[in-house]
Each structure stands twice: as C-alpha cells, then as structure tokens.
Structure 1
Amino acid sequence: MSPTTTVRRVGADEAHACIEPLADLLIDCVEGGASVSFMWPLARDKALAFWRGVADGVARGERVLLVAEDGDGRIVGTVQLITALPDNQPHRADVAKMLVLRRARRQGIAQRLLQALDDAARDQGKSVLVLDTVTGGDAERLYARSGWQRAGAVPNYALMPDGALCGTTFFYKQL
C-alpha cells in the first residue's frame, strides 16, 4: 500500500459528504463482479440511495463507517461495522461492504481497513465480529489470513452481479 494511503473513521457530520465517492466505489466494485448485494448494471441513483441510508445510520449511531483515502484524499476503500443489533447481542457487530477500488487492490488497503475495523469494534465495546463473503473469492482468503475463523458455507446463497448463483462463507472473529 502506498505510504500516503490513510484509513479513518467518518463521523456523523461528514458521512453525507462522502456519498458521491462511495457510490463511485460501489459501482466500480459491482461492475468488477463483487457480490455485495447489488446486481449489474447498478444505477447511480440506487448506489446513492444506499449510501444515504448508511450515512443516516452513522448519524443515528447504528454503524461505524471507515474509509481508506489515497494521498490526494480520494476514497479508494471502505468497510462498515454495524453495531445496532438485538438487545441480547450487545457484545457483537456485523461487518459489511468491504470495498476497494479495482485500481487500488493488492496494495494492502483491505488489510489496513480490517485493522482499523478491529480498533473501532473495540472502541464500541464489541468482542465478536461476524461477516460473510463469496465462497472461493479473494476476500475469503484475506479474512482467513487476517485471523478470522471460518464458521461454514452455504451453497447458492446469493447471486453474483451477473445473475450467477454463488456460495457464501461465514466468518467470525473474537477480539
């Protein structure tokens, strides 16, 4: 990763200002085949609406939004920690939408986002993290290398952006 790439938490006041570049990031990832809840083609208004909802969740304190920025301050990656869970799970959080621009991959950005995510989870008093990812994909290997434990896989769980079925592997991490 470039030494000028930084990872930081986006506060409630700033989250809405990040919607446009986050929509660009989401569209880039879905166009590249990432199975992150959206189909291709992904309309810009749909991507913007998604990120507006995320920003609203940050403002309500229901999630933590982290971004990775290059030396010019452009968002090149993101991940979320969803902290608004049922009353019997105050110690747990879900990880969502780990995204890195295709042109910025293989530079350690995802690893840095995961490290910052662990710190943010600890700051929120969370001790168990849970996520899911496409079975057999690059992200599955990243999570395994990063200390996440594989809980199991479900075949044909979701669709890839092109409509093909894909399996999903679930991971957890004890902090």
Structure 2
Amino acid sequence: MSGEGIDNVNVRRVAAAEAGAQAGQLASALADVLIDCVEGGASVSFMLPLAREKALAFWRGVLDGAARGERVLLVAETDAGRVVGTVQLITALPDNQPHRADVAKMLVHRDVRRRGVAAQLMTAVDQAARDENRTVLVLDTVTGGDAERLYQRAGWRSVGSVPNYALMPDGAYCATTFFYKEITPHGA
C-alpha cells in the first residue's frame, strides 16, 4: 500500500442490488482483507492457513445475506477503490428481537490500521442501526485486544468475558469479551 494515501477512506453501505450483481469482485476484495487479518493473528472465526476459496465462500454467503436483507454490509474504501475494511450488522434475528442486531466481522487491513478506519466503520454501523430501527447492538471480541479499546472509546459497554471461548488462528485459546451498545433511534 506504500505510495497510496489513505487520508480519504470512505465507508459505504453495500446495496442489496450490488451484493447480488457484483458479488464476485466485491467478495474477492473482502477476501483479501479477511486473509490479511487472519494472517495477522485476528481471531475472527478462521484458522491458519486460510485458503482463498474458503474466504471467498464466506464472503459470497455474506453478500447473499445482504442481498436478501438479512444483514447490512459496510465497506471502507480508499479513493482508489481499494477495500481496506468492513463490518456487518446482522439483522436476521428471532421474532422477539426486532429491535436488536449483532455487529460482526469488524476487519481492517493491517496496511491501514491506526488511521481511523475502524472508528469510521463503527460510526457507520451506528448509523446503519438507526436506519434499520435497531436500538440494541451486541458484539464480541478477543479479551485484551486493540478492538476492545476501540469499542470502549465508541461507547460500547462490556458485560463480561468468557475464558477459552474461541481459538486464535494459530490454535491457541483466547478469552472473549461481550459488549453491547444502546442506539438512540432517529427522531428521538
């Protein structure tokens, strides 16, 4: 990424029509980010080595879900059009939770970390929640990781940790901390 400025990273919502029509190209770009994050040690449900086809299959499924309206997919792109980050708002939840959504797969390429991309994604996910009339958001992250501090700065509240909840990409156990955030709806 050397030489490419990232002063202008824009976060946008992937429209349902785009998720269906351009799934191949976008899935490839998102797979690049996912593979980079897993290779960098992020515990995001995948183990090393992460085969490209497995990453592509995951993103095709996400894009299918976005096309069906089951989730909101947000992507962070440079002015040059390179996808450098993503986060999802999962809205397909049980009937008794129409007000809630899960935040998942907050990923930022290592090339652009510590430059505000994650904060932009979190602001965008709050807005997406308002747009979807979701007032309670839930997420989980590796206990003690950088993301934990990001979420706290963004107004999320920790509800506790579970030891040995997941595995790091190298197979080591890690604790997971669960967070929630209440979102003020539009017009309130």
TM > 0.5:
yes
CA RMSD for the aligned pairs? Answer: 1.0
Could you list the per-position Cα deviations for residues 32-54 of structure 1 after superposition, in whole angstroms to 9, with x for gaps in the alignment?
A: 00000000100000000000000
Q: What's the secondary structure of 1:161's corresponding residue?
A: coil
Shift in Å at residue 2 of structure 1? Answer: 3.9
Supply the distance in 1 between the matched residues of 2:42 and 2:71 (Cα, whole angstroms). 22
Measured against aligned partners, the alpha-carbon deviations of 1:111-135 in whole angstroms (never above 9, x if no partner) come to 0000000000000000000000000
What TM-score, normalized by structure 1, do the two folds share?
0.98
Partner of 1:137: 145
Distance 1:99 1:2 in 2: 16
In structure 2, what is the equivalent of residue 13 of structure 1?
A: 17
Which amino acid in the other structure matches residue 42 of structure 2? A
Query: Which of 82, 107, 110 does residue 74 from structure 1 map onto?
Result: 82
Is 11-20 or 23-32 further displaced after alignment?
11-20
Given residue 11 of structure 2, which amino acid in structure 1 is its aligned partner?
V
Q: 2:44 aligns with which of 6, 28, 36?
A: 36
The amino acid across from 2:169 in the alignment is P
Q: Does 1:106 align with 2:114?
A: yes
Unaligned ranges ≥5, structure 1? none
Tell me the CA shift for residue 71 of structure 1: 1.8
Mapped to 1, the partners of 2:16 and 2:172 lie a distance apart of 36
1:27 alignment partner in structure 2:
35
- 1:65 alignment partner in structure 2: 73
Following TM superposition, where does structure 1 have runs of at least 4 consecutive aligned residues deviating by more than 6 angstroms?
none
CA offsets, 1:58-96, max 9 Å, x none?
A: 011000000000121100000000000000000000000
Q: CA deviation at 1:13?
A: 2.1
Structure 1 residue 4: Cα displacement = 1.3
Percent of aligned pairs sharing the same letter? 73
> Post-superposition shift, 1:139?
0.2
Pick from 54, 70, 78: which aligns with 1:46? 54
Structure 2 residue runs of 5 or longer lacking an equivalent are: 184-188
User: Using the alignment, how far apart are the partners of 2:83 and 2:60 within structure 1?
Assistant: 16
Offset of residue 3 of structure 1: 3.5
- Give the total of aligned pairs: 175
Determine the structure 2 residue equivalent to 1:154. 162
Give the TM-score taking structure 2 as reference length: 0.91
Alignment counterpart, residue 87 of structure 1, candidates 91, 95, 102: 95
